[in-house]
A and B are shown apart, each in its own frame.
Chain A
């Protein structure tokens, strides 16, 4: 070493110091030595044997359990795919009377909620309301709650969400008897009004079954029946069956959507009419008059009335209006159009509907101190009730509040006891979504938490100690044989068979003879003054009423309309936004009286100028947990600011004492602040940016639409695939698939954009959640995205929704540029991505014309380690630095081969979940296969086929009526 000197140290360059060459040499020795030293045995691992052969399913062998989704009262059938004792993927249950094979995004995502470590384990007792709950043994709160309920006898109220379970209803009846309790059901949305209207007009308080599969003219007043309204899976299946191109021309339906905001359903309507929120009631009344023979003043109403009248008995009018008077007008319309018994079926209706009137009465009684004990289950009034503290203020006057909920929430903040609610996948239950149909639920896993269902709580408090499974089975045994033991064996066999099927047909009770009385006249609705807007609260396809707010998959699911994730926002029409000087991302303050919220604005084409629309279900307590979601690195920004929540609760803005349907007049003003919205629509675009394209932007016809008349006579659009290149091909034909050649066809006429496929793919392929900041950087990881292509003017806006996944091109541009052959073609036509070969150059993604490749910029640890249990064991978890993309569910193809190719071609996850059956997968080499036939259909085309990359995914052109614009009122 040189002697210490005061001279500044200069890093010597060659020739005196360490040369680059010698440094590299030394480093090389060191690295070799380190590598050799590392060549020891991998850590020892154990294989644990089972104890008893009987209780173990073959390790690693998937098995299926038929059960029922618990996310909403629609009660779709679910087939839970389980491995090693735990569910890893939920599929739709084929043959189920409600859903028949489809499952929505929310249903798919339930498997993630099951593994949520934030779910409460064991009961909690709160010494101070809103304080930290002390964990307690089960019997301690049971005894305390029972004592308090006894003391409050006669002044006990049970507030639940909609209950359709016959066995639970039987226990509620016993509970009411034991404690002199009253049962009130709360249900968000318009179901209460629909049921009230039917009680008034037909004498039956039910939500009827709406059958879109027989409706040739559909008029939907704001009802988002393909997205979040009543039973979207069932509706989407039925609706898609009658779309042009999917059925004979004489059976094709025409779908009118009359709405003020832009809904998933509205974008897919044949005719979308934009009206003001305050005009909805008047429009329904005017249409009812027009159908009855009065001359309407509005042209589109005359047109609609004529079309409805021409399809008597095969039309359908629905509305999402919360005013029972408006719903009674809808009923009158369906009566006049002879739709009852055809498209509207009371005999298959749903009982157990919430009542807005009863809830309002309950709140008044709570405030007056007339309720001594309140039990809340299956709903979250603390979040959902209108007003900033609509529920908390009333609950403060109640002596005892016990809440049955999965985890602490806004309601438990006003409670004395929290009894954890069991997850649908770990409990027994039944549901009657339609009269005569009983859907059964059975556990797919040993309970992860000490938790209970409502029925089990009520049974315990009534002094019954039977287990949950016994409570359900015994209920049906008593119903079936009335205690006659001679039938016991037959019952057990029949019940087991029903469990295997997931449902059974029950004796449908109840009166069918209905008397029809005339409708009520809806009250006139206030029109906002100049400078004010009408507030429209709606439910998003993914988050619904907010019960799903703790589900990261649903939070990161792009909204079918706005394509935004991780936020709610104030939707404003372009003209309104312009007049206010607001652009997307500007924070606006929405004020009603003393209440106000601040939200980023989103300029939404097609919305009415007089409306501001905000999604409900956001601003849920505890969503601050998502500040940790996504990778941590130098420039990362949290998805949620510390102490913040995901979005803002819009229900807090609604005046608590408003009449149903009354206009909420709000003031909207700029705050000057900005908040970026993570919208994925312009990410991964197929279109050449204007500054790069020749002739100022090249429009590529990624989505093709044809008129109904063109079906069948459409020229095969592949004319230019060979033609434009004159038959000259630079690619050798060296991918001769001798066995199967896998391919896919997506029908754009059937796709509603509901995004069930996106979550299904996420679950099947263990796609990570990346958080808002990464989405803002265009780094979302979804293997399948849905591109929304607007069509038409703002007034009468529609859209085609195009699911886009890896096209598995035969002449794959990604394969030619990979320097390490990490992406190569398989002998059955798949474009394979080999993770352990990939070095992460990202050349492939750059060269992909469809922009479907996703790069792992990070290892994406789950925000919740327990949720690793939802990882699919059949799929490799990708590490940082490798590329990934749709594999056409190659793991399912391999499983199909393992099983000896039984039962038709394998199904991809997206195909399985699609309620509309818009996705078909199969063997293109088999000319008789469904996919091969569809690929030869006149509507079939390949996206960017002119590039001659020869994708194996074909799309069927969307079919659009071009008969006139939207219309206003």
Chain B
């Protein structure tokens, strides 16, 4: 006959087991992905591009102003620079000097970090189309994901002057992109409230606030 105490003990074992599993995995509430920093197929550095080289976010994430999705750049966008910039500055300079010294044309050196990109573009190490490779889009690992019942529009926010960093954090300092904000509903609403009331935590320029009131209606995001 099962006894209440044995049931309780069973429950406790389950609980401990669950807790052990959870402890292993660095637990969080469901859906809360703050700090997520997955390894990407191309070792791309936002610190270098957005921080050091000061390339504008919208140069690559072109959809941010016109669509609800910011989008990731097409391979051709990367190649518009990397057709020429194929390796680190020091490596390329050394090769150029070596070539000068040996009075020959400099060889094209493609760094290992750029190999996946050249593969995606179907290019060989010499930067010419390689018939053995089919151009294939890069499958980046998604970092920022909202649930499908929440409708977020980049166009609406970026177009009104919300800086990218307000939600994405200091991306220009990140070697690999990390989810900076919790992206929970409470976090969204906090910002909407602050900007509607013009209280502390403002991200919007005042003109934008006047043009389109910052809504805390459910249907602002959920429909």
* A binding-site residues for B, Cβ under 8 Å: 1-2, 12, 16-19, 22-23, 25-30, 32-34, 36-42, 44-54, 56, 58-61, 738-739, 824, 826-828, 830, 832, 834-837, 874-877, 887, 890-891, 894, 897-898, 900
Contact = CB atoms under 8 A, between A and B. Distances in A.
Contact of B217 (A42, A44, A826): A826
Contact of A49 (B72, B155, B220): B72
A36 B19 contact: yes
A878 to B, nearest CB: 9
A23 B7 contact: yes
Interface stretch (B73-81, B96-104, B163-171): B73-81
B150 to A, nearest CB: 8
Contacts of A26: 4, 7-8, 10-11
Given A41-B36, A51-B135, A898-B155, A33 B14 contact: yes
A827 B142 contact: no
B25 A894 contact: no
B151 A874 contact: yes
Contact of A824 (B76, B151, B218): B218
A33 B19 contact: yes
23 contacts: A29-B12, A30-B10, A30-B15, A32-B15, A33-B11, A39-B30, A44-B142, A46-B141, A47-B72, A50-B76, A52-B76, A53-B77, A59-B67, A60-B63, A60-B71, A61-B66, A827-B213, A827-B215, A832-B218, A876-B149, A890-B223, A894-B220, A898-B155
A58 B156 contact: no
A911 to B, nearest CB: 17
B68 interface: yes
Nearest to B12: A29
B193 to A, nearest CB: 13
Contact of B156 (A22, A32, A830, A897): A897
Contacts of B53: none
B207 interface: no
A25 B8 contact: yes
Interface string B127-164: 00000000111111110010111010101100100000
B151 A50 contact: no
A29 B67 contact: no
B219 A49 contact: no
A45 B142 contact: yes
Instruction: Name the interface size band of chain B.
Output: 35 or more
A51 B76 contact: yes
A50 to B, nearest CB: 4
Interface in B1-30: 1-4, 7-8, 10-12, 14-19, 21-22, 25, 27-30
B66 A58 contact: yes
A26 B69 CA distance: 46
Contacts of A36: 15, 18-19, 21-22, 27
A22 B8 contact: yes
A41 B36 CA distance: 9
A900 B212 CA distance: 9
Contacts of B74: 49-53, 56
B55 to A, nearest CB: 15
Given A23-B7, A60-B67, A887-B223, A49 B21 contact: no
A2 B11 contact: no
Given A22-B4, A832-B218, A900-B159, A42 B21 contact: no
B206 interface: no
Given A46-B139, A897-B156, A60 B18 contact: no
Contact of B139 (A48, A837, A876): A48
B219 A832 contact: yes
Contacts of A2: 1
Contacts of B69: 58-61
Chain B contact residues: over half helix, strand or loop, or mixed? loop
A630 to B, nearest CB: 24
A28 B12 CA distance: 10
A900 B66 CA distance: 11
B75 A52 contact: yes
Contacts of B8: 22, 25-26, 29
Nearest to A834: B218
A37 B22 contact: yes
A54 B80 CA distance: 12
Contact of B75 (A19, A29, A50, A830): A50
Contacts of A836: 147, 149, 222
A875 B3 CA distance: 51
Contact of A828 (B12, B16, B136, B217): B217
A894 B151 contact: yes
A52 B122 CA distance: 12
Among B21, B67, B219, max chain A CB count under 10 A is at B219
A33 B17 contact: yes
A22 B15 CA distance: 16
The 5 closest A-B pairs by CB, nearest first: A29-B11, A33-B18, A61-B67, A22-B4, A60-B69
B38 interface: yes
B33 interface: yes
B14 A45 contact: no
B217 A832 contact: yes
A36 B145 CA distance: 21
Given A18-B2, A41-B36, A58-B62, A835 B25 contact: no
B31 A42 contact: yes
A32 B18 contact: yes
Contacts of B222: 832, 834-836, 876
B142 A46 contact: yes
A836 B151 CA distance: 13
Contacts of A875: 223
Contacts of B121: 51
Contacts of A51: 74-76, 120-121, 135-137
Given A25-B8, A60-B63, 11 more contacts: A22-B4, A33-B17, A48-B137, A49-B74, A49-B138, A50-B137, A51-B75, A51-B120, A53-B74, A826-B219, A898-B156
A828 B74 CA distance: 39
Nearest to B62: A58
Contacts of A900: 159
A827 B149 contact: no
Contacts of B38: 44
Nearest to A900: B159
Contact of A48 (B2, B138, B155): B138
Contacts of A890: 219, 223
B11 A25 contact: yes
A39 B27 contact: yes
Interface in B29-67: 29-31, 33, 36, 38, 62-63, 66-67
B75 A44 contact: no
